[in-house]
Amino acid sequence: MVFAIAALFLQFAPAVHALPDVDLGSTALVAKSAHASADAMSVQPGPATTSSAKSDSTGAASGTLTMAALETAAQNSQALSTIRLPDPPAAKPIGVISAVEYPRRNWVLLSIAQHSAAAFDAYSTRQAVATGASEADPFMRPFAHSPGIYAAVQVGPAILDFAARRMQRSQYSFIRRSWWIPQSASTGMFLFSGVHNTSVANRH
């Protein structure tokens, strides 16, 4: 029984196959020879050949770049010479009108007439108020019972004198031709008011 079991174990034991012997020395020699042949194939040209090739390529590239730059500059200058800029539109001159075109003497005469008419209005108002009448103008009413009315009534004519002088220098022809209207209208109103005040004072 024991012999039968031992025979079975020997029958199923794995068989070990022996590998052939390898010579490590010969393998190293083969590897060295292959590496030497690869180095021989990858040998580069000498320094003289490399430098000459570089100089040739550099000279050719610089010459090409120079020609290309010259051609580009010529094309750009030709393109710029063909561009025509439109002429700028003529600016409309702003005419500054001097007051010399309208004599200052006329303005001074109208100013004197206006201020004189205002003074006449103030005097007639004082006369009418003294006889029992009342001032209808709300702006002149506080000054109707005092001599301050002579100064207060001159404020309006002074403003109109300044406006007429500015109108003489206006760039619009219609305004320049109408500069005398404010002073003339004010003079007429003061004269009318003075005549009315005189008639009221005479009635009382």
Task: Tell me the pLDDT tens digit for each residue of 9-22.
Answer: 555 444 444 444 44
Q: What is the pLDDT of residue 164?
A: 94
Q: Is residue 172 part of a domain?
A: yes
* Domain coverage including residue 195: 99-203
Q: Is residue 170 part of a domain?
A: yes
Distance CA 92, CA 20 (A): 113
* Entry pTM: 0.51
Q: Is residue 105 part of a domain?
A: yes
* Residue 174 banded pLDDT, cuts 50, 70, 90: very high
What is the tally of structural domains in the chain? Answer: 1
Closest CA to 155 of 134, 168, 137, 181: 137
* Residue 133 banded pLDDT, cuts 50, 70, 90: confident
For residue 80, pLDDT beyond 90: no
What are the b/e assignments for 19-45, b being 16+ CB within 10 Å?
A: eeeeeeeeeeeeeeeeeeeeeeeeeee
For residue 188, pLDDT beyond 60: yes
10 Å CB burial of residue 194 (0-12, 13-18, 19+) is buried
Q: Worst-scoring range by mean pLDDT, 12-16, 148-152, 171-175, 193-197?
A: 12-16
